[in-house]
Amino acid sequence: MIHPDDMFQAFEPHRGDSVVIVTGTGGRRWRDISTNEKRDLNVHGAMGQTSSAAMGFALAQPNEKVVFFDSEGALLMNLGILATTAGKQPKNFFHFLMDNECYATTGGQPVPNSQDISYAGMAREAGYAAAYEFDNLEDFSTNVGKILEETGPVFVAMKMVPLVENEPIGMRKRGAVRTRAETIRTIQEELGITVV
């Protein structure tokens, strides 16, 4: 099992100019680790659908590397994204999966078949160019740089330490969060994108 903080720390030196999109409870840790906020994009908005929005952005900007950190609960709500992505073969799309085997944000209830399922296997058979699995930080740290140099779409499944939240949502402490609209404006300025 890999702690999200450690995973993001290992990833960050390799991100370069890539556009990074995160989702899920563990994904919130990224905002404290990222050193290139202008290229951090938030396209959350509907259950399980951030993956599709991230892939859509990758299609729109084929010259930008897009790294998306998904969660297994979200992926299970939108499994079709594996076929959709494989069908379009976006070479610039890197789909990382933080699999903590549970719905951490609702108290840690297990996702269906949480311990006996291979998301990397699904992605591989769906038609991703490559798929990897990691369950320890050392192997992930050793390989993440090389993986990010590959031609996408690439899928990377990682077994993560769950960061379970039990407090009612209204009582949870939240750090400063840039809104979706703010991150969209920033990335469009950064990349010189005009909405038609």
Partner 1 sequence: MVNQQAALLRPETLIEEFKKNGVTHIVTIPDSETNYLYELMKEQPWLDVVPASREGETFAIALGLIVGGKVPVCLIQNTGMMESGDSIRGMALDAGFPLVMMIGYRGWNRHGVITDSAARYTEPFLIAMGINYYLVEQDEDAPRISVAFEEARANKRPVAVLVGDEYHGFNR
Contact residues: partner 1, CB under 8 A: 41, 43-47, 49-61, 78-81, 83-84, 87-88, 180-181, 184, 187-188, 193-196
- Picking from 113, 127, 119, 114, the residue whose alpha carbon sits closest to that of residue 157 is 119
- The angle that helices 50-60 and 80-88 make with each other, rounded to 10 degrees, is 10
CB 131 within 8 A of CB 154: yes
Least Cα distance to 153 among 66, 50, 37 occurs for 66
Q: Return the number of the residue (2 or 126) whose C-beta is nearest partner 1.
A: 126
**Contact between 57 and 93 (Cβ < 8 Å):** no
Nearer residue to partner 1 within complex by CB, 105 or 141: 105
- Distance in Å, CB of 112 to partner 1, minimum: 18
Supply the minimum distance, in Å, between the C-beta of residue 37 and partner 1. 16
Compare residues 176 and 181 and give the one whose CB is closer to partner 1: 181
**Residue closer to partner 1, measured from CB, 9 or 49:** 49
We find the least distance from the C-beta atom of residue 181 to partner 1, in angstroms, to be: 7
Give the span between the Cα atoms of 133 and 120, in whole angstroms: 6
DSSP state of 121: H
Q: Residue 138 Cβ, how far from partner 1 at the closest point, in Å?
A: 34
Nearest-approach distance from CB 49 to partner 1, in angstroms: 4
Nearest to partner 1 of 80, 110 (CB atom): 80
Rounded to an integer, what distance in angstroms lies between the CA atom of residue 94 and that of residue 1? 21
